[in-house]
Structure 1
Amino acid sequence: MCRLFTLALLAAICSISLAAKVLVLQDDPLIRSTHSRYFRELHSQGHTVTIKSVTDSNLKLRDWDDWIYDKLVIFAPSAPDMGGDIDDDAVLEFIESGHDVVIAASSQLSDPMRKLCESIGVDMEGKGTAVVDHVDHVLGTHGHTTVLADGFSNSDAILGGIGSRAPVLYQGVAGSMSPESTLGTVILSARDTAFSTVPGKASLETPSLAGGHAALVVGIQARNGARVVVSGSLDLFSNKFFSAKPVTSQGERLESTGNAKFCAEVTKWAFHERGVLRVSNVHHNKAGLTEQPDWYRITDDLEFALDIHEFSGGSWKPYRADDVQVEFIMLDPYQRITMKHNNEGHYFTSFKVPDTYGVYKFVVSYHRAGYTALDVVKRVSVRPFRHNEFERFLTAAYPYYASVLSTMAAFFIFSLVFLYHK
């Protein structure tokens, strides 16, 4: 397991250090110009961007066993189908192979695109629905469907502290995830007064999604480390929303929106440019020694340490957290200890080996929203005392020693009296 983790980590490091080949699928040729600022941002990050029509008959993601592209961006919400060799199964296989995908939807989301989102783990609202806010909306839009959203994820790994920035302009459909999902996180949610409905259609039914339950942008991190971002709005990435100075329903004019920064940060996370952790220098030893043994003796004092670094801003930096734990497990954890760190990425702890021998594992299983998972396993044996390692005389046993000696003395005296006294 350690070997597989190391190989996956090396693959992730290699993918980080190289500029990615990005394929953009569009269902409207105007997207190349209406979303040009977003594409320029991808270029500025060193990526090679190829834009093609989603219905191109020559589309393909792989050439035999070699993947042609590293990342996939699907800006084709209304596409009835995808051309060439690309379909839902091909996209899912692309994700399962460790590649990243960004998907943008809209109120006109087609059934194939909705099915693709469902396969990834995000349930989008029905066709024709939109996020509506009659309280906090932008003036001059039909049906109050252009809204402001600032329900940002509190994970700095995803947004890099964007939570204090300008609200995001949004026009599109809402989505949701299963509450039992452990792989997804809501990156952007609607304000409390927003809800999902069909614009202009009166309804007495309770909205299926409202307030913070209406997910606008969702991030999925697969178990193999691949990342997928699903946005319910294609306009979220548009030049128009990047440069807009909207007037709110309260009459306040915003100097700018947070769309450009938000989309840039979300894409960096999706493309593994932030929130990537790596482990190195995993070491355990007896207290006071440096050699790493294959076994320990019961009740030994041992030390365990490792280094954790985070890829951010184009380089590896020490990762600082106070919730990294190590477990010493034989079927069940015998020890579970929160590790200390020196603010330079070095984590360490010490503890006493349990008084039960067997095969144990050091386990560090670190899973936090926005970060790649860390799963480190080291196996060691714990043996009992050998016959010549026990203490010859135990202080706690002195009363028992005394009782045995007194019994022997009493028996000796009794024997003398019984045999020789008349």
Structure 2
Amino acid sequence: MRGRATLLACALWLTVTRVQAQKSDVLVILEDQQLKSTHSIFFGHLRQLGYQLDYRSADDKKLQLRDWDSWLYDKVICFAAAVPEFGGAADAQALLEFVDSGRDLLLATDSSASDELRELTAGVGVDLEPQGRAVIDHFSYALQSLTVDHTVVSGQAALAASAVLGGPIEAPVLFRGIGASVAPESELVLKVLTAGSTAISAVPGKPLTEAPTLAGNETTLTAAIQTRNNARVTVCGSIDLFSNEFFRWSPVVVTPGQRVGQSGNRAFATQLAEWTLQDRGRLRVSKVRHVLAGTSETPQRYRIRDQVDFSVDIHEWRKGSWQPFKADDVQLEFVMLHPYLRVNLAHNNKGTFSTRLSVPDVYGVFKFVLNYQRPGYSHLFVSEQAPVRPFKHDEYERFIPAAFPYYASTFSMMGGFFALTLLFLYHKRPLP
């Protein structure tokens, strides 16, 4: 009886430990501690997801991200702007090393962003506009805003960011802050929220004497970065976007004549945070299998022209559990220096992707390679070595149809030689 109680206690401890391991402490760096109350809805949503929030001031002299070689946090949220430098051992370089280690960062700033924050955003491929500039739109702005410079604008969620946001955001997303630019050739940075076609980046209250450096949809308001080591970084040019004020902004009236019951900021901000903190769009691979067709055998090496069945299980972390991943664009390559085969994998709606392929008529050391990279999803890379051998001497066909001309030439030569021999031995020329 005592043994059963011990086993039950151990099982309960393991279960609790496993659940706790799924959610880690989040370091929240705030420029002003009042943000805890002005942004309480956003932080409350994170606590509902199970995260433990550790609030620290940006200038805290004891602020640190790691203790020697051990990182103290897996995720960081930073709401700061005019901070000349972070306190303690935290700075732009330390946060970039934090991301390089595979951890996640959510950064929000505004028009007064300091050089320290600009160095940080530039390190992940997002260039903020010069200090003091803001996104202004004189044609599409919130009419209820008390400001006359039209800096509370309506952003447009990018269609390519549906995987990040979990779906389209129908209501306008209000934004007040600084714009940014993203290099067109960047493969890792995804524009999540952009300005409208009539927006510009300029200094509020000052006449525009020259063409703005950023205008229209080229003005990035929020960018998401998925690094090659599957770390996630989100850069937003507006701290107010996450505030209770913008969450509750109702009714939203955006010229010309668009009227919506409530802003889409709450849905946008919470979905964006869930993606950044790896609560959505995270994929895992398991049960990679390749066998001879019709068998359950995985040989040490395949033979040319063999039929091979390949399958793999892919699941997505969604709504607190691993669920079958569904996609029609997962591909498998059979590679030796370069792909000899590239085929689509079909799924059974239960997370299993499979295909049957024919080994090419080339022998050598091949690899099954699955390299899945899609915006908003963690990168998957699977590589399984599969040597391919030629036929053995007793595995070839007795007579190969393609060699019939050679067979005929051989036997014709033998017949001709035999006829010539008979002619030479038994044919006598008549005497003169």
> Which bracket does the TM-score occupy, shorter chain normalised?
over 0.9
Among 182, 191, 205, the residue aligned to 1:186: 191
1:121 aligns to what? 125
In the alignment, the residues of structure 2 paired with residue 400 and residue 25 of structure 1 have an alpha-carbon distance, to the nearest angstrom, of 81
> Are 2:286 and 2:313, in contact at CA under 8 Å, matched by a contact in 1?
yes
Among 158, 171, 174, the residue aligned to 1:166: 171
Q: Does 1:105 align with 2:115?
A: no
Corresponding letter in the other structure for 1:352 = S
1:157 aligns to what? 163
Q: Does 1:93 align with 2:103?
A: no
**Comparing 130-139 with 91-100, which one deviates more in the overlay?**
91-100
Question: Identity of paired residues, percent?
Answer: 47
Correspondences of 1:212-223 after superposition (within 5 Å): 212-223=217-228
In the alignment, the residues of structure 2 paired with residue 102 and residue 176 of structure 1 have an alpha-carbon distance, to the nearest angstrom, of 18
In the alignment, the residues of structure 1 paired with residue 407 and residue 117 of structure 2 have an alpha-carbon distance, to the nearest angstrom, of 82
- SS of residue paired to 1:43: helix
Corresponding letter in the other structure for 1:70 = D
Pair 1:380–1:252, CA change in 2 (3 A) = closer
1:228 aligns to what? 233
1:114 to partner: Cα distance = 1.2
1:26 aligns to what? 30
Among 241, 244, 251, the residue aligned to 2:249: 244
1:384 to partner: Cα distance = 1.4
1:66 to partner: Cα distance = 2.6
Among 263, 267, 271, the residue aligned to 1:265: 271
Query: Which digits, 9 at most, give the CA deviation of each residue in 1:205-240, with x for residues without a partner?
Result: 222112211110111111111111100000001111
Among 377, 391, 398, the residue aligned to 1:385: 391
In the alignment, the residues of structure 2 paired with residue 241 and residue 265 of structure 1 have an alpha-carbon distance, to the nearest angstrom, of 15
> Are 1:219 and 1:229, in contact at CA under 8 Å, matched by a contact in 2?
yes
> Are 1:153 and 1:188, in contact at CA under 8 Å, matched by a contact in 2?
no
Correspondences of 1:338-417 after superposition (within 5 Å): 338-417=344-423
Pair 1:254–1:175, CA change in 2 (3 A) = same
Q: Does 1:316 align with 2:322?
A: yes
In the alignment, the residues of structure 1 paired with residue 415 and residue 33 of structure 2 have an alpha-carbon distance, to the nearest angstrom, of 107
> Are 1:151 and 1:212, in contact at CA under 8 Å, matched by a contact in 2?
no
2:5 aligns to what? none
2:282 aligns to what? 276
> Are 1:153 and 1:186, in contact at CA under 8 Å, matched by a contact in 2?
no
Corresponding letter in the other structure for 2:75 = K
1:350 to partner: Cα distance = 1.7
Query: Which digits, 9 at most, give the CA deviation of each residue in 1:299-327, with x for residues without a partner?
Result: 22222111111111111111111111111
Pair 1:208–1:261, CA change in 2 (3 A) = same
Pair 1:67–1:405, CA change in 2 (3 A) = closer
- SS of residue paired to 2:223: strand
1:15 to partner: Cα distance = 9.8
**Comparing 359-368 with 141-150, which one deviates more in the overlay?**
141-150
- SS of residue paired to 1:225: coil
Q: Using structure 2 for the length normalisation, give the TM-score.
A: 0.90
> Are 1:16 and 1:273, in contact at CA under 8 Å, matched by a contact in 2?
no
In the alignment, the residues of structure 1 paired with residue 405 and residue 389 of structure 2 have an alpha-carbon distance, to the nearest angstrom, of 30
Pair 1:388–1:138, CA change in 2 (3 A) = same
Corresponding letter in the other structure for 2:254 = T
Corresponding letter in the other structure for 2:95 = V
1:54 aligns to what? 58
Q: Does 1:330 align with 2:343?
A: no
Among 286, 300, 303, the residue aligned to 2:309: 303
> Are 1:148 and 1:170, in contact at CA under 8 Å, matched by a contact in 2?
yes
> Are 2:161 and 2:191, in contact at CA under 8 Å, matched by a contact in 1?
no
- SS of residue paired to 1:268: helix
> Are 2:347 and 2:353, in contact at CA under 8 Å, matched by a contact in 1?
yes
> Are 1:273 and 1:313, in contact at CA under 8 Å, matched by a contact in 2?
yes
Corresponding letter in the other structure for 1:385 = F
Corresponding letter in the other structure for 2:184 = P
**Comparing 358-367 with 295-304, which one deviates more in the overlay?**
295-304
Query: Which digits, 9 at most, give the CA deviation of each residue in 1:395-421, with x for residues without a partner?
Result: 333343234323322332332232222
Query: Which digits, 9 at most, give the CA deviation of each residue in 1:157-208, with x for residues without a partner?
Result: 21111x1421101100001211121111011111111111111222242221
In the alignment, the residues of structure 2 paired with residue 402 and residue 249 of structure 1 have an alpha-carbon distance, to the nearest angstrom, of 87
In the alignment, the residues of structure 1 paired with residue 256 and residue 214 of structure 2 have an alpha-carbon distance, to the nearest angstrom, of 24
Corresponding letter in the other structure for 1:278 = R
**Comparing 135-144 with 60-69, which one deviates more in the overlay?**
60-69
Pair 1:15–1:232, CA change in 2 (3 A) = farther
In the alignment, the residues of structure 2 paired with residue 367 and residue 147 of structure 1 have an alpha-carbon distance, to the nearest angstrom, of 33
Q: Does 1:45 align with 2:45?
A: no
In the alignment, the residues of structure 2 paired with residue 252 and residue 269 of structure 1 have an alpha-carbon distance, to the nearest angstrom, of 29
Larger radius of gyration: 2
1:79 aligns to what? 83
Pair 1:170–1:415, CA change in 2 (3 A) = same
Q: Does 1:130 align with 2:138?
A: no
1:207 aligns to what? 212
1:147 aligns to what? 153
- SS of residue paired to 1:333: strand
Query: Which digits, 9 at most, give the CA deviation of each residue in 1:343-376, with x for residues without a partner?
Result: 2221111222121211111111110000000010
- SS of residue paired to 2:367: strand
> Are 2:157 and 2:169, in contact at CA under 8 Å, matched by a contact in 1?
no
> Are 1:157 and 1:371, in contact at CA under 8 Å, matched by a contact in 2?
yes
Unaligned residue ranges in structure 1 (runs of 5+): 1-13
In the alignment, the residues of structure 2 paired with residue 164 and residue 216 of structure 1 have an alpha-carbon distance, to the nearest angstrom, of 15
- SS of residue paired to 1:336: strand
- SS of residue paired to 2:281: strand
Query: Which digits, 9 at most, give the CA deviation of each residue in 1:33-83, with x for residues without a partner?
Result: 111111111111111112121111111122233322221111111111111
